[in-house]
Amino acid sequence: MSPADCAGCGAPDVELCPACRLLLRGDPVELEVQGGLHVVAALRYEAEAREVVLAYKARGRLRLDAALSSALAVAVGRVAPPGPDGRAPLLVAVPPSPAGRRRRGWDPVERLVRRAGLATVPGGLVVRPGRGGGAQKHLDRAARQRARVGCLRADPCLAGVRVVVVDDVVTTGSTLQEAHRALSEAGASVVGAACLAATPLLAEAARRPRHLNGR
């Protein structure tokens, strides 16, 4: 696929064709990850939507941020309505892994949040030094989760503050679980998480009645 073709379906000479653009308007999926965190994902991470996310994140087609940030904003709006005091919760982004940051030199989540006209708490969550950089692809889900615990640290200034976690792609949910843990430990009140996309497996699990979810 040439970099000048539709990032979703490969249609020639267009950044994003009308059909793929429509697809990215989002059909939010609501799910719950272990630990009880409520998650809204704007897109299913499959087919054309997955291609567009990959073109943006892995191949650096940054102009896709316009369409993707609109999708993320839909998820944020769904999970973070204003509280009784009329104020919306603060957004806290999941930081990129040190390896991801080195490889890209930019932060895909922060870029989408800014493009959507929103802002996150700077340094709200950080990767603990020496943690979170190792390859975890060979680990099964439980081992990944064990490896993640303690990877993130939340700013103690967030104690007593209502926050929403923001991330790009939720795969197993273990990163969101760790973000939830770190923020709760710092005393923040975590309202939920807003993500750009969820893998089909998680999205399908969310569709089943809760008693079949195995949680």
* Residues in touch with Zn ion (CB under 5 A): 6, 8-9, 11, 17, 20
CB of 9 to Zn ion, least distance (A): 3
In the bound state with Zn ion, the residue whose beta carbon lies nearer, of 8 and 192, is: 8
In the bound state with Zn ion, the residue whose beta carbon lies nearer, of 6 and 196, is: 6
CB of 8 to Zn ion, least distance (A): 4
In the bound state with Zn ion, the residue whose beta carbon lies nearer, of 1 and 11, is: 11
117: burial class by Cβ within 10 Å (0-12, 13-18, 19+)?
exposed
CB of 19 to Zn ion, least distance (A): 5
CB of 125 to Zn ion, least distance (A): 34
In the bound state with Zn ion, the residue whose beta carbon lies nearer, of 14 and 88, is: 14
In the bound state with Zn ion, the residue whose beta carbon lies nearer, of 14 and 90, is: 14
CB of 14 to Zn ion, least distance (A): 7
CB of 155 to Zn ion, least distance (A): 40
Which one-letter amino acid corresponds to residue 177?
Q
Distance from the Cα of residue 8 to its chain's centroid: 19
In the bound state with Zn ion, the residue whose beta carbon lies nearer, of 8 and 124, is: 8
